[in-house]
A and B are shown apart, each in its own frame.
Chain A
Amino acid sequence: MTSIAETRPIAWRIGTVREIIAETTRVRTLVLDVPGWPGHRAGQHVDVRLTAEDGYQTERSYSIASPPEDPRISLTIERLAEGEVSSYLVDELHEGDTLELRGPIGGHFVWSVRDGGPLMLVGGGSGIVPLMAMLRHRANAPDDVRRATPARLLYSSRSWREVIYRDELARLADADDSLRVIHTLTREPPPNWTGYVRRIDRAMLAEVTWPSSAHPQIYVCGGTPLVETAAESLVSLDYEPTSIRTERFGPTGESV
């Protein structure tokens, strides 16, 4: 039964943009101060509401990129073709501007070090964002806790320059032998690239994922084709369907 305390509405709050980080040519991160922010879990998202001068409003959902331990909230936004809201957030918003949002939202696609591991993350394009919150959260855990929850990320991008958080992912993996980051590039591998050069498929998942007997907790986030392929492949590889959590975005979802 739901108690009164739990039925308070999720309040709209006014965030202020404190920093903007260019991640790729189409992606940037907004770092926001949000007074009164109640805290969140890695994997959750916020609703953002924009209001034009004549009162017209529209809303979208964006995953939170920052870990629960950060006092500020980071949103990493990809500019979509004809994206009414994403083009504003990526091209127009400045440091010092305000942004109305409410959250955190979502209680299924979430992970905490308390949930244990192994942690298998599968992402495509900007689907990395909620997975990055999980990796950042895990990186903040004490060494022994982190080593007890090994993690792997299989991350599909179109090209090396479109890999979001590329340097940070390399730093995290270099500093942590219980974390492996595996990239696949679907369109333009750089010269001397020795990694995967195709879309995520069943054979790739079989190579990089722990055996099903290790009972990894699996999180898959990306466009619909990637999520469908990955989730179905994992089921066919004998992973428990209930251990596979998915989050999809994008209308028909451009494949990466």
Chain B
Amino acid sequence: MTSPISRGFRGRRPNAGAAARLPPGQYETHDFPVLSAGPTPHTPLAKWSFTLGARGAPSVTWSWDEFAALPHETITRDIHCVTKWSKLDTVWTGVSVDTIIAAGAERGLTPAPYVVAVCDGGYTTNLPLADVTGGKAWIAVGYDDKPLHPEHGGPARLLVPHLYFWKSAKWVRELHFRDHDEPGFWEALGYHMRGDPWKEQRYTGDA
């Protein structure tokens, strides 16, 4: 279907540099909007842990201090929220999911084709393994050179910047390998299973 012209709409065009980096339907924001389905959890660092697990194998768990000892990277990426805003050149620090999976493999955890992230507050999201490996995903603990604020997912959130940002689950605590792609929280409520912003995969049934 061809979209009708919106009579009298001119729009505010992004500059050419930003335009090339904005996926279809997105607009650039300089703020950092907050979106979540419920109250912000506040887990004290002393009680925080991160777990990598698989069905039928003992899981691997890091305390906050153990996690902090893993190699961290600084990541600069554009992020795209399904609610239409994009934010360019955001700067994060975090541990590559490749690092986590390699550490799990040393302790006998074999990767499977999909993962599910589990968070404080009960939020989950599903991802193909290929979308969280090969330098594409991190467990982020810092934003703009500061510890990640609880509203934005602190102490730690998944960061998968090439997919819509609901996949970058806030307050992440666990990553589990799965043999099948099982819908997470938003995916079970009508959002797309993969969520590629460049293909505008916002909702169930989008291409």
Contact = CB atoms under 8 A, between A and B. Distances in A.
A9 B206 CA distance: 5
A14 B1 CA distance: 10
A49 B205 contact: no
Contacts, number: 127
B33 A58 contact: no
A79 interface: no
A107 interface: yes
Contacts of A92: 8-9
Interface stretch (A70-78, A117-125, A183-191, A227-235): A227-235
A39 interface: no
A58 B31 contact: no
Contact of A58 (B7, B25, B186): B25
A212 interface: no
A25 interface: no
B47 interface: no
Contacts of A10: 190, 203-206
B122 interface: yes
A241 B24 contact: no
Contacts of A12: 1, 3
Q: Is the interface of B mostly helix, strand, loop or mixed?
A: loop
B1 A241 contact: no
Given A100-B3, A107-B190, A56 B13 contact: yes
A246 B38 CA distance: 5
A59 B3 CA distance: 12
Contacts of B29: 251
Interface string A1-16: 0100011111010100
Give the interface size class of chain A.
35 or more
Contact of B38 (A53, A88, A231, A253): A231
B43 interface: no
Interface in A54-83: 56-61, 82
A246 B10 CA distance: 33
21 contacts: A2-B204, A12-B3, A14-B4, A51-B6, A56-B13, A57-B3, A92-B8, A100-B4, A107-B189, A108-B37, A108-B186, A228-B40, A231-B38, A235-B39, A241-B41, A242-B122, A245-B37, A246-B38, A248-B33, A251-B31, A251-B85
Interface of A: 2, 6-10, 12, 14, 47, 49-53, 56-61, 82, 84, 88, 92-93, 97-100, 105-109, 224, 228, 231-232, 234-235, 241-242, 244-246, 248, 250-253
